[in-house]
């Protein structure tokens, strides 16, 4: 089977491409290359690489493709807020354009990497099921993900399987590491500065999942029988996978013994708090998705990576591991225009 993997050079994609290749799939990467040159270690070479903006997807890009896993997007809330119009054009319109082109080209499966950010500011008295999502997200990123899911579910049929996977906040080692996401940030801070500073009161909830578990959930969308997944959304996570920020901070401190943990409460209680149910994926896809990673194992993996590559504070806080500074750098140096199109 030949799989098109969009965003293959990003945080999840640079891990997922290697997993797919190891499982024997032929993988065609599709990535515009915003983060080229920032890799902490080499990305696994794929069968073929297309260097192209998702907004420019064309029929010939999909020739010979059996299934698509779509990761390419402006990848988090701060980056999404760089321009709500760009987020709409790339994350929503680009996704719909790709899916329609894939269906026309005879692609059999379309696996969409959606987001749990669409749960927004939620009632934390219970864990939210997939049916409790909606246009509640407070950011352009969250709204684009929700709207894309709605449009994609109009396209599925018996010969075009559409699956929407909603990852928890991801953590863990990757060639294209991100330190602008919560657990990686906490461990990276502890390792490079010896301190973990929490500016909220530490009470907000966050669901988290390791990048390899997320990768395997996306692959489950490819491998599970049609009747289990077609037209469905799944929250990707692990058993007991909801944590308070203070619990994540304590796990980061365990990963870096001797690091100092401080709660300043400067920002009070963060309004972004939600607990998510993983019952559906852990039951419906139990034969295809079997998560293996917890916080302590993931924290150790990150520290081992940091030691191996002599990870520095500059890498941790700079454009190497943070998406928005890299995009701003490319704009400021006139490599990208304000529409995030390449100039050179």
Per-residue pLDDT tens over the stretch 17-71: 999 999 999 999 999 999 999 999 999 899 999 999 999 999 899 999 999 999 9
| Percentage above 70 pLDDT, the chain | 94
Place of tokens 């301190």: 195
The C-alpha atoms of residue 4 and residue 143 are separated, in whole angstroms, by 25
The C-alpha atoms of residue 16 and residue 228 are separated, in whole angstroms, by 22
The model's pTM: 0.95
Quick one: average pLDDT of 147-163? 97
Say which CATH topology domain 2-332 has.
Rossmann fold (3.40.50)
81: pLDDT strictly greater than 80? no
Residue whose C-alpha is closest to residue 270's, from 320, 192, 198, 218: 198
For residue 45, what is the DSSP state?
A: P
Quick one: average pLDDT of 100-111? 97
136: pLDDT strictly greater than 70? no
Quick one: average pLDDT of 311-325? 95
Quick one: average pLDDT of 329-341? 94
Mean pLDDT of the chain: 93
Around Cβ 48, how many Cβ atoms within 10 Å?
13
Query: Which range has the top average pLDDT, 58-62, 79-83, 130-134?
Result: 58-62
Residue whose C-alpha is closest to residue 303's, from 181, 199, 187: 187
Whether 301 and 255 have beta carbons less than 8 Å apart is answered as no
Domain boundaries, the chain: 2-332
For position 220, what pLDDT does the model report? 98
């Amino acid at each position: 089977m030949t799989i098109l993997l969009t965003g293959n050079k990003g945080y999840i994609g640079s891990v997922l491409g290697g997993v797919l290749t190891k499982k024997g799939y032929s993988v065609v990467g599709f990535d515009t290359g915003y983060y080229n040159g920032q890799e902490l270690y080499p990305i696994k070479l794929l069968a073929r690489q297309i260097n192209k903006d998702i907004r420019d997807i064309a029929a010939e890009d999909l020739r010979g493709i059996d299934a698509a896993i779509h990761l390419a997007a402006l990848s988090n809330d701060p980056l999404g807020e760089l321009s709500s119009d760009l987020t709409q054009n790339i994350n929503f319109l680009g996704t719909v354009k790709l899916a329609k082109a894939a269906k026309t080209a005879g692609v059999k499966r379309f696996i969409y990497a959606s987001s749990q950010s669409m749960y927004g500011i939620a009632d934390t008295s219970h864990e939210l099921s997939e049916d409790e999502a909606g246009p509640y997200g407070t950011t352009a990123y969250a709204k684009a993900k929700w709207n894309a899911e709605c449009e994609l579910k109009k396209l599925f049929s018996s010969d075009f399987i559409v699956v929407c996977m909603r990852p928890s906040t991801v953590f863990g080692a990757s060639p294209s590491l991100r330190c602008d996401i919560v657990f990686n940030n906490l461990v990276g801070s502890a390792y490079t500065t010896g301190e973990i500073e929490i500016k909220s009161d530490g009470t907000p909830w966050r669901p988290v999942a390791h990048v390899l578990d997320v990768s395997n959930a996306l692959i489950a969308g490819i491998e599970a029988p049609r009747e289990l997944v077609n037209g469905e959304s799944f929250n990707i996570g692990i058993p007991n996978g909801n944590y308070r920020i203070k619990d994540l901070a304590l796990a980061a401190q365990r990963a870096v013994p001797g690091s100092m943990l401080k709660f300043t409460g400067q920002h009070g209680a963060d309004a972004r708090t939600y607990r998510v149910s993983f019952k559906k994926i852990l039951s419906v896809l139990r034969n295809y998705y079997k998560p293996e990673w917890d916080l302590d194992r993931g924290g150790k993996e990150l520290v081992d990576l940091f030691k191996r590559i002599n990870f520095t504070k500059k890498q941790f806080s700079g454009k190497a591991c943070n998406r928005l500074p890299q995009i701003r750098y490319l704009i400021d140096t006139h490599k990208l225009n304000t529409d995030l199109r390449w100039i050179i």
